[in-house]
Structure 1
Amino acid sequence: MNLDDPLDIEPNEPNPEDELDFGVLDTEENLGPEVPDGSNAPSEVKRTFWGVFLLVKVGLLSGSIGALLLALTPYRQVGAAALALGLFSLAHAYVKYRRSKYS
């Protein structure tokens, strides 16, 4: 064995990679339950979900930007309006979620 080359393996030494057995699963095996794609959900559930989803997104975005504008810039009126819009959107999303019959 040449000590100058650390990658030099003598032919009589076993290859360490031959001893590794990870037990790789076959890709055709069923690994778990089937995940539903939502295509058979009632239209009212879809409409409620996407409405609440968009309201929460608008609420988080405008509320955080409004708080930053209010605290860090001289645009206090714009920041207060954006923060109020964000809080209103989050409150409306909460009420809409609680009123849905699927919650």
Structure 2
Amino acid sequence: MAFSKSFPKQSKTSAYPQWEEITLTNEEERQEEGKARSENIRLFKECIEDARSIMKEKGLKDYQTDLVNIATALFEKRASHVVYWKESKAKEKFDEMFSKQ
């Protein structure tokens, strides 16, 4: 199912905005999912290193499960969701389509 999002566009004939629906192609959607995946992998690796530093700084035992749990908690706070990337791409398309008018 294709991703779509609506954005407000100023109307010349009304005080109310006209809503324009922007739909990503399957290829655009896959590209954004790929970007999100790559970023999330990089981010999780960073979270593992941060968790390792926190455990060392606080003198905690270096148990792998604790490390992963801390890293996961950090990741959940920091992670960008796939929807964000898709919405960002849809906004980019909207701006390209309607900034010329």
Q: TM-score under structure 1 normalisation?
A: 0.33
Q: Relative contact order (C-alpha < 8 Å, sep 6+): which is higher?
A: 2
More strand by share: 2
* Higher radius of gyration, 1 or 2: 1
Q: TM-score under structure 2 normalisation?
A: 0.34
More helix by share: 2
